[in-house]
Structure 1
């Protein structure tokens, strides 16, 4: 359910140098998405999405995630970055490409054999809600301080991103209470399927990129990269709602919640200790430069 086309140029948009995009520096969205811990949130959202039989079937039947998982991850990250930090024109262009891509895709329900559209509102809404809820809940549980008003503000702001993929913002949950209600409504549709199980296994143990795996071909240990990824995947899975972990066959224990939250807080501290210049991409730097230019001296 993510774009396979390259995004608009993330750094140069000379016709819109004074445009801060869909959100801007005073938004809750910019506050949340500045957090490097969101790399865990992205993985958490994929575990959630795999529990929807049609959503995961659509991905399995149309996506290149198994043959090119890291390339797809990069393209998805660029798309999210463009919608968050790009100019309005860049975000809208990225949304148009994504909707055009989805409009051509069809999948077949593995249980009924019925063909369905990838861009049906129900599926688009599921993907949107699981993504934004994962971003927000992961950041908060990892230690980012947000008030209840800011939490609701984030969900309301993200309706703008939902509109980019063709959703009517009025049909998208715009508060924490609305998100909770949405999950309660959709849970009867969720279950573990073969596609879901295969996707979850792949997410937990994907192939290591060639440049990282090359030492193994030379007889060197591959332990650290693989173990690091397992650790991140374990945190992402542990941060799932208890009902989601139960659908995966777990017990949904509160001890898992506490352990995952402690691990997320520790990882956030470690990531935030890395100099920002190593964590910031060109589209983020371009957005910050536009914001500073508009703010003026002082």
Structure 2
């Protein structure tokens, strides 16, 4: 995925705008913790694990693969409608050939299937909010209500079925309860989770990225439920969680207090594209039209193909 940082907000404010909780949560220093949390717990879905394991992208070039994924989430949350639609169409094109047989069930998987896309979407949005609550200031009840409404709007960029997308904390809990019976672990799932938490400097990751993943894991693991940690074989004593939380909250406060300067310095070594997006967000001038737009309007104006079926 190519990204020109000068195009982040040329037309409009995108789908949510400056006063939105989505902008607040997705551009906070805690977002990177939430993102690592999301890509780890995603592996409990065997169909997502099969797609990731067969493509091998997180192993051959973890920095690029994860940077692009994180960048897509950021673009959907804070970019203008044109950039978001173009990014979504590009991502669907990348996912289109990612099909195969899931070895546990013997059923076919597709990276673009509505169920898989919903799992990726909800784990991403829920995880960044969880990290924002644990290590940041959290949202007010009114902001959280709006956050989940915005989450549902962002899901329109993917192949998710609108009727399946949760729109409140209670519905998110219901969603996790509904999918939990199909969640499991496996050799390939554990390989993926452990690699994301404790990335090796080999295979192009480099020492800076490997060190970054290990430092982030101290915080991201603390936000995951015990049953997931035991199932994925990365559990640790609760005392470690307690020891991690206060220093992480202090670091998050410091990064937020100084306009994420520390994150921008570290970004080229960990997530260059996401760092560009964040930098442009902080420095962006008002767009040509200081208003928000819907995904449907953005697709009609800027999409290569019209209609949701074109993304499947």
TM bin (shorter chain): 0.7 to 0.9
Q: More deviation in 246-255 or 172-181?
A: 246-255
Deviation at 1:107, TM superposition (A): 2.3
Deviation at 1:18, TM superposition (A): 4.3
Shift of the 286–248 alpha-carbon distance from structure 1 to 2, 3 Å rule, reads closer
2:6 counterpart (2, 11, 31): 11
Normalised to the residue count of structure 1, the TM-score between the two structures is 0.82
CA distance in 2, matches of 1:138, 1:256: 17
Q: Is the 8 A contact 2:135 2:252 kept in 1?
A: yes
Deviation at 1:165, TM superposition (A): 1.3
CA distance in 2, matches of 1:242, 1:137: 15
Query: Are residue 108 (structure 1) and residue 97 (structure 2) matched?
Result: no
Unaligned runs of 5+ in 1: 214-221
1:21-43 C-alpha deviation (Å, 9 max, x unpaired): 11110111011122112111111
1:145 counterpart (138, 148, 172): 138
SS at match of 1:74: helix
Matched residues, number: 278
Of structures 1 and 2, the larger Rg is shown by 1
CA distance in 2, matches of 1:293, 1:19: 5
Between 1 and 2, higher relative CO (CA 8 Å, sep ≥ 6) is seen in 2
CA distance in 2, matches of 1:202, 1:285: 28
State how 1:167-206 maps to structure 2 within 5 Å. 167-206=160-199
Q: More deviation in 227-236 or 193-202?
A: 227-236
Unaligned runs of 5+ in 2: 265-274, 292-312
Q: Is the 8 A contact 1:37 1:138 kept in 2?
A: yes
2:44 counterpart (42, 48, 51): 51
Deviation at 1:78, TM superposition (A): 2.2
1:267-287 C-alpha deviation (Å, 9 max, x unpaired): 313433555455454444545
CA distance in 1, matches of 2:116, 2:259: 38
Match of 1:36 in 2: 29
Query: Are residue 242 (structure 1) and residue 226 (structure 2) matched?
Result: yes
